Structure 1
């Protein structure tokens, strides 16, 4: 395609005329039925026909008309489109269908005619990842098809030169889809490097804040999308009233275009978008064990810094204090001092002795202190390694080491797990971490519910009888927030305290869940008192 607007036709334009009967009619009919189900629009209509050099797909949200390029399928006899299995035979084409369905569902705003062309282009660029992210929120398993569709929707020729506009445009097409959890961070590693060379990290952070904000905009909020388009232009130093003049160089002259082309080829052949495995949940049986089969969580080991060791020492002392119980005091009668004399018992004892009876009265009462065993403490640590935590990767790795180190030194039972596309047991119960593992937060999703289930299996967090604390390091932006909240609530009702450490990121505020103690932190070495108090609260309720 030559621009993102080719995907989305304004609602003021009528649908294209239906083509005559063709070999593609069964595909059109089958995908029309599918689109009606996905969009909840009985009037939806899909036309599969050769695009003759046009875009791979486009849609009219107002009328729910969609067109998909038949050349993406190739042979109409390749599969029966009425059977679900046909999708694996035509993953790119089916992904384009879902992309256009996402437009029909979520693109309910039109740029006004008075908007400058460059602002309109920027706003529609932001719309691409916004609608895919919204669609994935409700149909996360369709992510694999949307990821494949990117190889057709994005054309390296869209970035003909290594200018700021072209680099930012590529960032909006590729990097924004990582935050929308459509692409994996590993998919865009090379394009990210090429884009960063042109824009610099500071400018990329500014653009990222804009597209992240766009991901939160409602489907009908035209004003806000246009404002974000204007911010995009101003951040790039472009006058919103003037369309930038871009050289028409060949894509091969652009390092960014070459990186994009290589990335798209890799996506077509990378099996990382395999369907999620069926079953009753993940399993783990040792350190560094990945309990399912998607993109692995990786890290680099290093020695702990002085500040981290000092923070671990402070937290160890707090946890020991939290576990310590004062000796129990009980009052016991005694026949001899020391103690407090009870007059009535003394008179009884004197009478017993005077009558020659065996003395049984105990006139003295003393306080006896008996040691009380320290209650058991169990600490589970869950680390979010999804792409939205990328800027917080080093602090979260530091927090994981500090808490795990302190918990084991204080005699608590602990385990540390990282969760993204995979659930990885970083530190199993009973082991103390020797080195800090600086993790890479580049996963395409976050399997929080399954991570909680695995932590519960390892540590029995939902079983009464001990003090239990679950520490979660995450921004809380999840595909299924309702399921996540239900999991937290179940643990809370079972007596497990939940401490949530959220990144201090003003441009991408963390989600706050009920039944948690949520703390916003920038440096985990400064919040040890809060973690220690949460442990005390957990033991108090045990």
Structure 2
């Protein structure tokens, strides 16, 4: 027989047989010596497999629509198949070996997406879910051991997968992996090329082509081999039978058995008798024992694997193209948004995806800087100039003629070369070249959260913004800073390339927080991802965002830090209501120390710039 059954209505007899086998095995293990000792981690592994079984059970309803089925992972299944479904027990069993090379401690089926690491095992679970949902017919007791019922069960394999894919087409990948690794391996009778074996291989493999799981070019070798044994007419009849089975209702056992009888008639097999055993096939067709069918099945598995490898490469290339296109589109959108935000006299600009489509301008006016602020700006400018200073680079160069310092050893070598009539190569003069190393400019972007929870921090942040902009302008003419206030809208407080004369005051009364878009605007305006400058992004915020806002900001922060830009999150004040932004350096500072902390970060960024 070429394969194990996957649906078992005789669970009681199977359990009894399994118990008898276990007793016989235990007697054999105890005969003549002690049983092998249990591995030290056996108990832990059993507990892990119980966890995996429970997590698979929890995800089974999404696959099958049934909440009453229990999934168990067994070291040796009762049915002998890699996986099987027992309707009477509402039980699905899976062989632990199908998860190889992963042990139970490495499996996390509760996490969606974890199944992509073991697609064949998940495909087996999907297949049994198809049986649980759609194999609702039961053969009469007198038909259980007949060839007609065996043929109907062959047809049921592909019929349930077709029915399953109508509601879950995304599971096709896993069913393909299951065919490649498990279905072909489960085929036995490797030295039989009889009619029944050939038809069985066609029902398991070729029918899945008509389901849409396999491709024509993948099954072509097997189709030719089966046609060589059965003839194209008989193969065409079998093809019509399994396509007719696709249209049977889930509970139409009478039609499935009728198709099973038609299957037997096409092969010249008595449908009321048991299916032919391996010995009976050898006796009936002694010349058909070369094993060519199963060698061809193995070839089909290799073709499927090759197709998967090729498609994986193509999908990876397509993903890279899609990512590049998405990145280009995002860059264009960010540039357009930055143009609007940094436009002269621009009001609050609301990015796409935020409501309402208008936002109030948080700027409440401006004032002259205080003497203490001017003093702090000068102090910070001196610190920045000191951090940006680079020693002149010096390089020693030798030459055949002055200027420079004479190296006597090289001069003697040159005289000897000339005396010998050789072309002189010695260079007796050495001088030092000193080159001025340019000081790196500064790029600092400040994103200010002006939602209602930031009311107490806006005053110190407004002061720090002016101090930093004045200090950067006094350090290097190519240095630039910019400040953007954000809630559901974006408002430019300080624009790139402009040094403010007055301190701009603003209020914090907004709602949503468009931090990700604020980072995009500052990145465009200051080129924060471009090397060659001291680059810092400061987010003055308490971090109280929705999941969508937090994830979008974390994505931008990760990109900035990967390019060498420092990212700080400043939480100003004594409030304990805050959350940390993933990927940003968190600083909790008092209002009076705000400019000192920002200054330290900026000085460190300049000093680290090469």
* TM norm structure 2: 0.42
* Bigger helix share: 2
Q: Which has the larger radius of gyration?
A: 2
